[in-house]
Structure 1
Amino acid sequence: MKKGMKKFLVALLTVSILTGCGSNATKDTSKKVDNTQTEDTAAPTEIAKKGSITLMASQNWIKDVDRELFKAFEEETGIEVKILLTPDNGYLTLLGTTLSGGSNAVDIFMYPAGYEMISAGLPEVALDLTGEAWIDNYEDWAKEVNSYEGKVIGFSTWGVDYEGILYNKTLFNEKGWKIPGSWAEFMNLCNTIKAEGITPLYEGINGVWHTQSWVYGLTPAISAEKADYIEYLNAGKENKFADITSFKTGLEQIKSLFADTTNYTNDGQAEDWFGSYPALQNREVAMMFTYSAYAAELKANGSTDEWGMFSVPLLDNKIGVSNGGGIAKYINKNSDYIEASKELLSFLAKDENLEKYYSARTDLVTSSFKNVESVNATTATTEMLKNTAAIPEVMFIKNVLYWDPNVYQYLQGFSTGTVTVEDFIANVDAYRAEMFDIAK
């Protein structure tokens, strides 16, 4: 087995072990089936039948417009697209199981673009798409984040977005609240909001993925302290997060925020993402650390307030954070239906289908393809880009090898007082050391 794929599968096995043993782990054993969707926590074993291709994704990565386009593709070509969805918490483990051993159980799979897919070893199982005609219509950034060693391997219709503190601009104007320019001002703002009987932040702290955004918010500070931090941390286990002062001091601020549970929602739900919509719309909370396109989702859900965004002020930061490009589709090079899979990607890349896709995806504020007219930035996007002190930095998890999948539990420990900042950093560095050793 090649080193890259070994890294990928071992890392995913570790995720599986940690998820199964974690105190807040949950297991969804439900199975739902309709014409386009299968959800199951078991690894897929069915090979695509003649006239169909199987696409594997995490449950929130496939939208209604995707299903509509897949159906249109079937009507035009006679090729059915069978969607295999898994719960978010189990996707990485199941993907590793599915792709191992040169399996052809799925024809197309989804995974984050950029350095994440490279460090995961996906170039060893993803088909080279360099010769496809639609690549000429790629935006430069999309071509870059979907390439490895000069070869395009990913097909992306997602876009670059920006992360920061989304706030109810209408409510802020009514109350006379000001955008904070420092961490001290931010904490004072939280106290002011609480005095009005409103919870400052929506944060389902028991969720696996979202709360970690606060840690990624330290990216500009880390970059300012050590411009070559990516190369440094990726060089080997001897180079540690413990070596970066801003990482420690930033975590201390995050810990102080979470230690006071009156600063945010904490309803004990493992994945309570969808609870954020009514909480923000009903003004139960005033702010949320999220992506700028979320403002469009609130509008689509019925919100009439205006939403803005400011850079997370950890360590008095004033620079935005970028997600680096979102999720892409990859063709399994071991698939028995490579030509049919390539035909699907070409269909999705047609101008009229891109316009339909981006018109429906109001959660996207940029396009990975050129000259798309139906994509629009939100007020939160434009405000973030207007006020950021420099070009937004790509969150470090997109570039740094071996990020501990158990970080969400360390953040929960901040809220309960069971985890110290020193514990957090030691655990992150220990995980990275283990992964470096395994990858040798």
Structure 2
Amino acid sequence: MKTSHRTLATALAVLATAALTSCGSGAEPAADGTVTLSFMTGSDQSTVDTSKALANAFMKANPTIKIEVEHQPGGSEGDNVIKTRLATGEMTDVFWYNSGSLLQALNPAQTLVDLTGDPVLANVQEDYLPVVTQGGKVFGVPATTLTGGGILYNRKVYDKLGLQVPKTWAEFMANNDKIKAAGITPMIGTFKDTWTSQIFVLADYYNVQSAAPTFAQDYTAGKVKYASTPAALGGFQHLADVHAKDYLNKGYGSATLDQGLKLLVEGKGAHYAMLSGLLPPLLATYPQTATDVGFFGVPGTDVAKNGATVWEPAAIYIAKTTEHLDAAKKFLAFVASPAGTEAVTAAVPPSGPYRVKGSKLPEDALQVAKDLQIYIDNKATAPALEFLSPIKGPSLEQITVAVGSGLTPPAEAAAQYDQDVEKQAKQLGLAGW
């Protein structure tokens, strides 16, 4: 996604600025009383389709407001365009951007409209608000669905063996024993795509937060470490447990993500620590994905605190330079409403629930989306740590491959990761490091 073509990024930023200037987003309402909002969004197909569906449905319901959509490139190029235009006061009225810790890079207190206490947020689920909040102020609304991080499992295997979804790690390991005894691979590993090895650690964050509620802020401030926090060690221990029991598929070290997903859907592997948002592309080849694959959060130690880690939706924000604030707020209120989510569902099959009160998944939604909805209804979710802290060490995937392959003990791996993140924290200039 990211590219090093800096000259291209600069050229795109200039062209985008010129396009914005020519369309006159800050002009007075036209003679016929219409207002035109400019809306910058992403360029990947899902984002394009979602943005188009939202804009068209909104304009149909609000004929006096027109929305002109423009697309920024992906990766670091898109980031540069957004930051440049915010810094120069040339940003579109509304725009699509990441939620979570990356928001602070936009200096939102100076560049974005504060929505704290505004009716725009009336339908936004409270669990979502922290990832669009900086300095105690709320700046955005959810643009799309969330993704679950945890265990994808084959429901047919569970039915065949009479298994129940586990609520604790001990129950999970007991299920794995039964699956192995039945001659089916209990856990899928795909370490050829090294990033996939991280999920056990990243998706265990709900359990970390349950045991240590202030972990994210203390971690960002350099006050706590993975190696010295028992709950944070859990994800590394899970990797070691799975390897020690010989639960992984043969050739896990050279297996790819695509191969892992295929093993899961075909029932040759029962469990895969993975993100639910990766399933929709499989539907064309494996339509049974919609019904045969379920989701549950990485189990912890306490049944009463069972929950799941989620990757929160991106957000739509209003630039402080907009001259059409009322219209912009009206659009955001529509995005964060059941009518808005229905418009998106009609265009893009949801792979997870929406973060909007009153929104409903369609009857034919993927099973993983329905499973995720239960966690949300039970208020048993936590955002992945990357949404709450800017610190994520670049070497984590190499460290987790080593743990999952039985080469590095969990405690040693956690200490290695603490050293890895220390370098990044110092580069970011964070206090306490």
Q: Name the TM-score, length of structure 2 as normaliser.
A: 0.69
Identity among equivalent positions (%) equals 21
Residue 241 of structure 1 corresponds to: 226
Q: Is the CA contact (8 Å cut-off) linking 2:147 and 2:277 kept in structure 1?
A: yes
**Counterpart residue identity of residue 113, structure 1:** S
Give distance in 2, aligned partners of 1:296 and 1:209: 20
* Selected match of 1:228 from 203, 211, 214: 214
**Counterpart residue identity of residue 428, structure 1:** V
- Once the two structures are superposed, what CA deviation does each residue of 1:366-387 show, in whole Å capped at 9, x if it has no partner? 4333433555676556657489
Residue 423 of structure 1 corresponds to: 416
**Structure 1 pair 211/80, CA: closer, same or farther in 2 (3 Å)?**
farther
**Counterpart residue identity of residue 299, structure 2:** P
**Structure 1 pair 186/43, CA: closer, same or farther in 2 (3 Å)?**
farther
Give distance in 1, aligned partners of 2:123 and 2:429: 38
- Once the two structures are superposed, what CA deviation does each residue of 1:387-429 show, in whole Å capped at 9, x if it has no partner? 9999344433332452224423332344567765132232234
Deviation at 1:72, TM superposition (A): 6.0
SS in 1 for 2:267: coil
For the aligned residues, what is the CA RMSD?
Answer: 4.8
Aligned pair 1:57/2:42, yes or no? yes
Unaligned residue ranges in structure 1 (runs of 5+): 1-25, 31-38
Give distance in 1, aligned partners of 2:232 and 2:250: 22
SS in 1 for 2:158: helix
* Selected match of 1:283 from 239, 253, 267: 267
**Counterpart residue identity of residue 391, structure 2:** Y
SS in 2 for 1:241: coil
Residue 367 of structure 1 corresponds to: 354
**Counterpart residue identity of residue 396, structure 1:** L
Give distance in 2, aligned partners of 1:27 and 1:391: 34
Unaligned residue ranges in structure 2 (runs of 5+): 26-37
Give distance in 1, aligned partners of 2:354 and 2:377: 21
Q: Is the CA contact (8 Å cut-off) linking 2:115 and 2:137 kept in structure 1?
A: yes
Aligned pair 1:355/2:345, yes or no? no
- Once the two structures are superposed, what CA deviation does each residue of 1:147-176 show, in whole Å capped at 9, x if it has no partner? 445644112143556443121112222244
Q: Is the CA contact (8 Å cut-off) linking 1:240 and 1:429 kept in structure 2?
A: no
Deviation at 1:355, TM superposition (A): 1.9
Deviation at 1:183, TM superposition (A): 4.3
**Counterpart residue identity of residue 47, structure 2:** I
Aligned pair 1:84/2:77, yes or no? no
Q: Using the TM superposition, name which of 424-433 and 380-389 deviates more.
A: 380-389
**Structure 1 pair 103/439, CA: closer, same or farther in 2 (3 Å)?**
farther
* Selected match of 2:388 from 395, 399, 402: 399
Deviation at 1:181, TM superposition (A): 6.0
SS in 2 for 1:165: strand
- Once the two structures are superposed, what CA deviation does each residue of 1:292-341 show, in whole Å capped at 9, x if it has no partner? 67778766861164443333236687722242742112234357887886
Q: Is the CA contact (8 Å cut-off) linking 1:111 and 1:327 kept in structure 2?
A: yes
Q: Name the TM-score, length of structure 1 as normaliser.
A: 0.68
Give distance in 1, aligned partners of 2:390 and 2:371: 32
Give distance in 1, aligned partners of 2:259 and 2:96: 26
